[in-house]
Structure 1
Amino acid sequence: MTDCNLQSLLRAHRSIRAFKPDDVPTELTDGLLEAAILGSSSSGNLNTYAVVETRDAARKAELFRLHGEQAMILQAPVMLTFCAEARRTRDWLARHEARDNFNNFHGFLVAAFDALILAQSMALACEAEGLGICYLGTTLNAAPEIARFLALPPGTLPVTSLVLGWPAEVPQPRDRLPLAAYLHRERYQRAQPEQIDALYAQRDERGLQRYQSLSADARQRWAEHGITSLAQFYTSELKYSPIAMQGISRELLALLEQQDFMNNGDAA
């Protein structure tokens, strides 16, 4: 693996949405994933995750559809779907006549956190090799359909996805809020209104410029929806609509039940 300074690597992170057609060898991605698994913490060392790799063009085309037709899915040679996966652990418990467990909401959270930790380790491993990556938040939006398409059994649920390949663009790193927005010493301290304004001042300006500079169509859609600030955009029908998110939340709760993650002792 290429030597690099970890802090420099972290500071240089960017999401890549345009990829070269060049192949990424299976040997490379397998080695990176194995290293990511070895280097990722896991609750109880149970490693309650599964990773579904998709390279086949036809299958990627279907995931492209399920993920809202994001062009980078078709461009990137590899797509990885990270799943909370208690199925293997529960089958192991059954083989040794141990009580069933991890079929509850706590078990889902443990598995989901394990999967997300692994996904980030894999993202860093890829970037250290010069590969570009982009997370797909749409994994949760289409989780029921993705679960069916990937034939996920009970005890398994998709939580995030990565596309990866050789970058065909060099975008500027995205800005973050100042450290003071995230770091609380000893106890949580809620920001006052004037502090909120100061913390978000740069984000409001840069974010507004970025989204409105994408195209004239984007500016027109903002106007049609009466959007005058970045905050309004984030909860508009163009981004994270509360109505849509509530519907997705209901679907996820139903999927948790369907995938046998909701045995929470209610009938006991």
Structure 2
Amino acid sequence: MKTVAETLTAHRSIRQFKPDEIPQNVIDEVLQEAIMGTSSSGNLNSFSVILTRDPVRKRRLYELHSEQDFVLQAPLVITFCADWHRTRQWLKLRGARDNFNNFLGYQVAANEAMLISQSVTLGFEARGYGLCYMGTTLQAMQEIADYLNLPETCLPITTIAVGVPDEQPERRERLPMRAYIHDETYQEASTSKLEELYQAREISGWQRYMSMPHLKAMCEEGSITSLAQMYTSPYKYDPDAYAATSLRVLEALRGRGFLPGGLEVGQDEQ
């Protein structure tokens, strides 16, 4: 098994998988280690993990995740949820005051869902498996929540597809370390510093897009001439689409009782 350092430095996003199943004992070990070894606010463990292996159910998730082929290839799809429902039911059982059905509760639970997802990721990658995170979880948050029968104050935060890698992609570049690390207080970069920080990324990233015929064709069709333009184009992270998705996320939070105007306690059980 790889060390933590070896696992981190070997990380790649895998989007092609072999059909090999993941043994149940491996899944159990990874989840047990992750749950026992991941920090939790108040040790309340405000997350839930949903495993999907059934081909029919996986196909529906494939549809909800923008029909990304690797969802069908991977033998295991894991949805990580921000979940206060279990804790709130326990509070009610013991006659305690209700809590966590608010935005702060959502924020804490969303952070914990992401923490546990990274621990699970390290566990699988240390054993030689590959995976890919799916940002489409937020884009289809409400639909995924409904499909997985998530209760009040429980919402999906992120999803990974896991399996035996069937590709060896190149490691994605990162900005220089000085772009991320601030000593004592935030140090805003000057224009010249930004130019310096992004210079290599702009060249390598643009070359990568231009090396793929379908992406090159999209850029030419949309008169896109730089990596920055691509990132906020209709083909990538369209600001208009982001604004619309933001509203849908807010509605999902409201509908699941994390924001005012949502369900009252116990309303979903009447």
Structure 1 residue 81 corresponds to structure 2 residue 79? yes
Counterpart for residue 129 of structure 2? 131
Q: Counterparts in 2 of 1:1-268, with a 5 A limit?
A: 2=1, 4-215=2-213, 217-263=214-260
Counterpart amino acid of 1:10?
L
Is the contact made by 2:3 and 2:126 (CA closer than 8 Å) also made in structure 1?
A: no
Secondary structure at 1:13 match in 2 = coil
Q: Output the CA distance in 2 between the equivalents of 1:231 and 1:151.
A: 39
Q: CA deviation at 1:11?
A: 1.2
Instruction: Map Cα deviations across residues 123-180 of structure 1 (whole Å, 9 max, x no partner).
Output: 0000000000110010001111101111111110000001000111111111111110
Which ranges in structure 2 are unaligned for 5 or more consecutive residues? 262-270
Q: CA deviation at 1:8?
A: 2.3
User: Identical aligned pairs, as a percentage?
Assistant: 48
Is the contact made by 2:47 and 2:83 (CA closer than 8 Å) also made in structure 1?
A: yes
Instruction: Map Cα deviations across residues 103-136 of structure 1 (whole Å, 9 max, x no partner).
Output: 0000000000000000000000000000001100
Secondary structure at 2:19 match in 1 = coil
Secondary structure at 1:243 match in 2 = helix
Q: Output the CA distance in 2 between the equivalents of 1:177 and 1:14.
A: 16
Q: Output the CA distance in 2 between the equivalents of 1:131 and 1:5.
A: 14
Counterpart amino acid of 2:219?
W
Instruction: Map Cα deviations across residues 243-265 of structure 1 (whole Å, 9 max, x no partner).
Output: 0000000011011010001149x
Is the contact made by 1:103 and 1:263 (CA closer than 8 Å) also made in structure 2?
A: no
Is the contact made by 2:15 and 2:132 (CA closer than 8 Å) also made in structure 1?
A: yes
Give the TM-score normalised by the residue count of structure 1. Answer: 0.96
Q: Output the CA distance in 1 between the equivalents of 2:209 and 2:56.
A: 32
Is the contact made by 1:136 and 1:161 (CA closer than 8 Å) also made in structure 2?
A: yes
Q: CA deviation at 1:86?
A: 0.4
Q: Output the CA distance in 2 between the equivalents of 1:150 and 1:244.
A: 25
Secondary structure at 2:162 match in 1 = strand
Secondary structure at 1:52 match in 2 = strand
Runs of 4+ in 1 over 2 A off after TM superposition: none
Q: Output the CA distance in 1 between the equivalents of 2:3 and 2:147.
A: 39
Alignment RMSD (CA, Å): 1.0
Secondary structure at 1:82 match in 2 = strand
Is the contact made by 1:131 and 1:166 (CA closer than 8 Å) also made in structure 2?
A: yes
Q: CA deviation at 1:201?
A: 0.7
Q: Output the CA distance in 2 between the equivalents of 1:200 and 1:42.
A: 35
Instruction: Map Cα deviations across residues 173-199 of structure 1 (whole Å, 9 max, x no partner).
Output: 111111100000010000001110110
Q: CA deviation at 1:53?
A: 0.4
| Range 203-212 or range 53-62, more displaced | 203-212
Secondary structure at 2:169 match in 1 = coil
Q: Output the CA distance in 1 between the equivalents of 2:47 and 2:136.
A: 19
Residues paired across the two proteins, number? 261
Q: CA deviation at 1:78?
A: 0.1
Counterpart amino acid of 1:171?
P
Is the contact made by 2:83 and 2:154 (CA closer than 8 Å) also made in structure 1?
A: yes
Give the TM-score normalised by the residue count of structure 2. Answer: 0.95
